[in-house]
């Protein structure tokens, strides 16, 4: 792994930790509660770069979607319903 891949790996881990800590801090994300949609998590965690040419804010959310899916695979979060929202397990 080169230095850039290493830094990228560290950034992904920090982003995943940020999302998890944010969700742990929100009452609506607690087990059994109504959860939050990805858009709200994305913006609240500061991942929105604003609309850019060919990279609108809605397209930028795919990164947070991947983070949430990793947390889901780790058994830490669940999606409520077919299109969200998300909450802690």
Domains detected in the chain: 3-88 (1.10.10)
**What letter would DSSP give residue 55?**
B
| pLDDT tens readout for residues 40-74 | 999 999 999 998 999 998 899 999 999 999 999 99
More confident residue, 44 or 1: 44
Residue 55 forms beta bridges with which residues? 52
Strand 86-88 to 77-79 pairing: antiparallel
Distance in angstroms (rounded) separating the CA atoms of residues 44 and 25: 12
* Amino acid 1: pLDDT: 86
**Angle of CA points 72, 33, 63, to nearest 5°:** 35
Rounded to whole angstroms, the Cα distance separating 49 from 58 reads 10
């Amino acid at each position: 792994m080169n230095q850039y891949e290493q830094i990228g790996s560290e950034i992904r881990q920090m982003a995943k930790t940020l999302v998890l800590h944010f969700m742990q801090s929100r009452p609506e994300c607690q087990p059994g509660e109504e959860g939050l949609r990805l858009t709200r998590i994305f913006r609240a965690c500061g991942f929105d770069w604003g609309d850019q040419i060919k990279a609108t804010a809605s397209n930028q959310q795919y990164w947070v979607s991947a983070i949430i899916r990793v947390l889901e695979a780790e058994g830490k979060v669940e999606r409520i319903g077919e299109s969200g929202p998300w909450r802690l397990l």
